[in-house]
Structure 1
């Protein structure tokens, strides 16, 4: 594939590597530096002690879009790439350690800062260029139907003139499916590392669609919970709001990454079809970002409605309790009146009126009854009982 950059006076590329057009102005021909020792590339304390499983998930050499060889060890891949003029290496790694990335850094002249980011992970989506190597960080997402929650995975991609290295931290995206789809379309894969990066971006953005559908379904369920006075609604609104915020942190910077890739179209002669396909990815990503904004607004509204309904229910409960307190207080007052009359006539004094009165006892009972009836009438009129 011809390059759009001026040809240097002396070709210092590794034997067998081919010249590719830069991706949106960030790729150019690579001048390999002398191999570095592992300890010069990465600090010793970052290397994992003891033996571990190989992080190489898939490693293959492609010529004109066709796989010519597959390897299980990085050293074999390097030798095969050197012996294949015009070949491209596509290496997939899953949570590699410092030693494995050190060999890649020495072979492909990867910048130590990018290698450190790929080991430690927990990076925000971004696009950086170190010399002639493009370093892209992507956040993939997957919706777990059983747990009804979103799982995020981090993917680091190194793209050079004749190689693509993917470093995955998490279960998504499905890179074997991306590789299979590209291998089934040799014409697309023949466009080189640019096509591989596009396919990975497309897979990551396509993976957002089930997440959007799952979150939308969760929001519908939360609305039902809120109006059904479910006690767990508030907690679920909070958890879902955090998931939507995390999802937005994965999508929003990716729009900037895609913008950085497309802004060089007018300056560099990038393949026209790749331009169109990348714009299609940007369109899908924009739609996802708009849906996320809608979700955040809907969750804010649901949270407000839930708070209003909770306050309303509390007011109704307080009102009901107040009515009960009124009834209890009214009957307590009615029962207190006879007690008060009985207490007065039960005092032991020698000189008291009506002690020797023949109608004293009926009079006391009548007083009790009249006072109680009067209080009952008053409380009944005030609708306390």
Structure 2
């Protein structure tokens, strides 16, 4: 779909409202340049544009595919294809929406093909139309306006990612377990965002080479390059920080699992002690409960009953108590080694 099409000459737009495609192609020979903006066009519409402006067929195919990294490519007819990745943070879903802008740049025309909702260019066109001194430099001024808007849109994404990372970081370094899936999601988003930002540095550095950009526009391209360098450093730092937070969260999970294992071991120890205590008692009571003649004939007095029954119950309990104390003393050094092996989660860094 064609969003807007205009002919610019002497720093001004030559008409009001969009221009038909055939008329725009004719104006390319009358001086100035034509800026054609399209949003998610179909194959038939792109074919019409290619035939009207003489674009290379490989460049048009490239504009229809979705790329993971920005790039710039020069064709034999002098047309340059520049592909940018756009980004926008969605507050409701707490995710980054990405888009793509393919720019066909020539001396007589600029054609922008947008993919995705995060690729609006109305602000760039309006801003440039209010800067006639930049429009007079030619079609390269549109590239600056688009790059400047795209790079400026990265800053809110960096800020929102930083806020999400701080929330996860505060949870982890407080000793609580953070959702591992959320950390992985943030790490993936930061990596995808880095792929959109970092390769763009090479694209911008190419525009700063001698002879590739009008002298009047060089300070503006350098300003965009400086802003992009800052964004690139921040995104790289966020990726590294998320890796550290993920490792710390795994350590916290290990600590919690060790605590659960220790509690389960203590419970099993108590149950084992109870079962062990009742084992000899059950044996003694079962033995003296048998109706053997010797037992019946020799336990005829209270003293004999007290000696054989009560002492027969106390002696196994006493022996079991002594054995358990010895076992506990032997296991104490092993428990200290286990506690020292539990990973320590460092406190959150302070500035």
Normalising by the residue count of structure 2, what TM-score does the alignment of the two structures yield?
0.85
Distance 1:284 1:357, change over 3 A: same
User: Quick one: which of 178, 183, 193 aligns to 1:237?
Assistant: 183
Partner in structure 2 of residue 188 of structure 1: 134
Q: Which runs of 5+ in 2 are unaligned?
A: 332-351
Shift of residue 367, structure 1, vs aligned partner: 2.5
Question: Paired residues, what number?
Answer: 325
Partner in structure 2 of residue 293 of structure 1: 236
Partner in structure 2 of residue 12 of structure 1: none
Partner in structure 2 of residue 51 of structure 1: none
1:361 and 2:305 aligned = yes
1:284 and 2:227 aligned = yes
Higher helix share: 2
Summarize deviations over 1:181-232 as a string: whole Å, max 9, x none.
1111122122221000011111111111111111111110111222355555
Give, in whole Å, the separation in 2 of the partners of 1:200 and 1:101: 21
Shift of residue 122, structure 1, vs aligned partner: 3.1
Distance 1:269 1:283, change over 3 A: closer
Question: 1:86 is paired with a residue of what secondary structure?
Answer: coil
User: Quick one: which of 162, 169, 176 aligns to 1:216?
Assistant: 162
1:340 and 2:286 aligned = no
Partner in structure 2 of residue 11 of structure 1: none
Question: 1:92 is paired with a residue of what secondary structure?
Answer: strand
Give, in whole Å, the separation in 1 of the partners of 2:282 and 2:290: 13
Summarize deviations over 1:45-75 as a string: whole Å, max 9, x none.
xxxxxxxxxx001111112121112325322
1:125 and 2:70 aligned = yes
Give, in whole Å, the separation in 1 of the partners of 2:141 and 2:51: 24
Partner in structure 2 of residue 148 of structure 1: 94
Distance 1:269 1:167, change over 3 A: closer
Distance 1:139 1:338, change over 3 A: same
Preserved CA contact (<8 Å) 1:89 1:164: yes
Give, in whole Å, the separation in 2 of the partners of 1:231 and 1:78: 61
User: Quick one: which of 8, 13, 35 aligns to 1:90?
Assistant: 35
Preserved CA contact (<8 Å) 1:87 1:162: yes
1:261 and 2:261 aligned = no
Partner in structure 1 of residue 47 of structure 2: 102
Give, in whole Å, the separation in 1 of the partners of 2:323 and 2:19: 94
Distance 1:185 1:355, change over 3 A: farther
Partner in structure 1 of residue 344 of structure 2: none
Give, in whole Å, the separation in 1 of the partners of 2:47 and 2:11: 28
Give, in whole Å, the separation in 2 of the partners of 1:352 and 1:291: 88
Distance 1:250 1:354, change over 3 A: farther
Summarize deviations over 1:1-21 as a string: whole Å, max 9, x none.
xxxxxxxxxxxxxxxxxxxxx
1:75 and 2:22 aligned = yes
Distance 1:104 1:354, change over 3 A: farther
Distance 1:109 1:123, change over 3 A: farther
Summarize deviations over 1:312-346 as a string: whole Å, max 9, x none.
11112211221122122112222223212112212
Partner in structure 2 of residue 113 of structure 1: 58
User: Quick one: which of 244, 264, 282 aligns to 1:321?
Assistant: 264
What does 1:159-170 correspond to in 2, within 5 Å? Answer: 159-170=105-116
Preserved CA contact (<8 Å) 1:89 1:162: yes
Preserved CA contact (<8 Å) 2:72 2:83: yes
Give, in whole Å, the separation in 1 of the partners of 2:197 and 2:62: 19
Preserved CA contact (<8 Å) 2:168 2:178: no
Give, in whole Å, the separation in 1 of the partners of 2:88 and 2:298: 91
Q: Which runs of 5+ in 1 are unaligned?
A: 1-54
Give, in whole Å, the separation in 2 of the partners of 1:248 and 1:173: 17
